[in-house]
Amino acid sequence: MLEVTDLDTFYGRAQILDGVTLRMDGGEVVALLGRNGAGKSTTMKSVMGLVRPARGRVRFLDRDITGRPSHAVCQMGLGYVPEDRRVFTELTVMENLEVGRQAPRDGVPEWTPERLFALFPNLAEMRNRPGGRMSGGEQQMLTIARTLMGNPRLILLDEPSEGLAPVIVEQMAQTIAALKTEGLTVLLSEQNLHFARMVADRAYIIEKGRMRFDGTMAELEANPDIRDAYLAV
Ligand SMILES: Nc1ncnc2c1ncn2[C@@H]1O[C@H](COP(=O)(O)OP(=O)(O)O)[C@@H](O)[C@H]1O
Ligand SMILES: [Mg+2]
């Protein structure tokens, strides 16, 4: 479904990504793990057309999308929740959801506010509340729900557990598990190995803009040296 090959991305003259390669099949939940500053967000932005890689290719659904503008990439069914999740503070939960609405897509679950409220029960209780009057965790849920309104085939979640209270982290993990059950493909970036363990089938580890590990979660568990070298545990 997604094929990222040999990406080099620069900010100015600083090389941030060095030959990043990553592949995802439909229905997988994959974690992109790495410490702060490793290049996780830059990888996602390179896929989404928010920064232009100097070298390498991004293919989505067998089409080359390298450097395509992000709105075009979104319309193809690639959803993205950035780490600085932003809700429209003046708009209610319902209105925020409407902003994300896109036409239904063949072969992917079609989301409505009602279906999303079943998945995010606390949003259901505040459907008329302005985004600005929600907690950080609630806003995080809302940005994910809003992205789902676009009926994506694949969703990129940049550090979904970051800054959440432990009980909300558990809820987030359950939500991602439910999305997988719906058949959605998910790439999430994480520093939190504990969270990745709860949701991911496979993991990549990036450090200093290079992929250092690629394998199943079980293989990662069997390699404590890799974990200790590249992740803060
Ligand atoms: N807009 C930017 N301009 C210059 N350097 C940046 C910019 N964004 C990120 N970086 C640098 O790129 C590196 C990778 O950042 P990032 O992809 O955000 O890492 P991560 O998401 O893994 O924490 C870091 O060294 C960071 O300081
Ligand atoms: Mg980041």
Contact indicator for 153, 108 with CB cutoff of 8 Å: yes
Ligand 1 binding site (Cβ under 6 Å of any ligand atom): 11, 14, 16, 34, 36-42
Q: What is the mean pLDDT of the chain?
A: 94
Percentage of the residues of the chain whose pLDDT score is greater than 70: 100
Question: Does pLDDT of 46 surpass 80?
Answer: yes
Contact indicator for 56, 8 with CB cutoff of 8 Å: yes
Maximum CA extent, the chain? 49
Predicted TM-score (pTM) of the model is: 0.94
Domains of the chain: 2-230 (3.40.50.300)
Spacing, Cα 86 to ligand 2 middle (Å): 15
Among the bound ligands, the one closest to the CA of 45: 1
Q: What is the pLDDT of residue 123?
A: 94
Q: Which of 61-65, 102-106, 197-201 has the lowest mean pLDDT?
A: 102-106
Question: Does pLDDT of 201 surpass 70?
Answer: yes
Minimal-distance CA residue to ligand 1 atom 18: 41
Please give the full DSSP string across 17-75, using - where no structure is assigned: EEEEEEEE-TT-EEEEE--TTSSHHHHHHHHTTSS--SEEEEEETTEE-TT--HHHHHH
Percentage of the residues of the chain whose pLDDT score is greater than 90: 85
Question: Does pLDDT of 232 surpass 80?
Answer: no
Contact indicator for 4, 23 with CB cutoff of 8 Å: yes
Which atom number of ligand 1 is nearest to the Cα of residue 35? 22
Average pLDDT in the 125-146 region?
94
Minimal-distance CA residue to ligand 1 atom 9: 42
**Which distant-in-sequence residues (6+ apart) come within 8 Å of 114 by Cβ?**
none
Stated length of the chain: 233
**Which distant-in-sequence residues (6+ apart) come within 8 Å of 161 by Cβ?**
169, 172, 173, 190, 192, 195
Which atom number of ligand 1 is nearest to the Cα of residue 44? 17
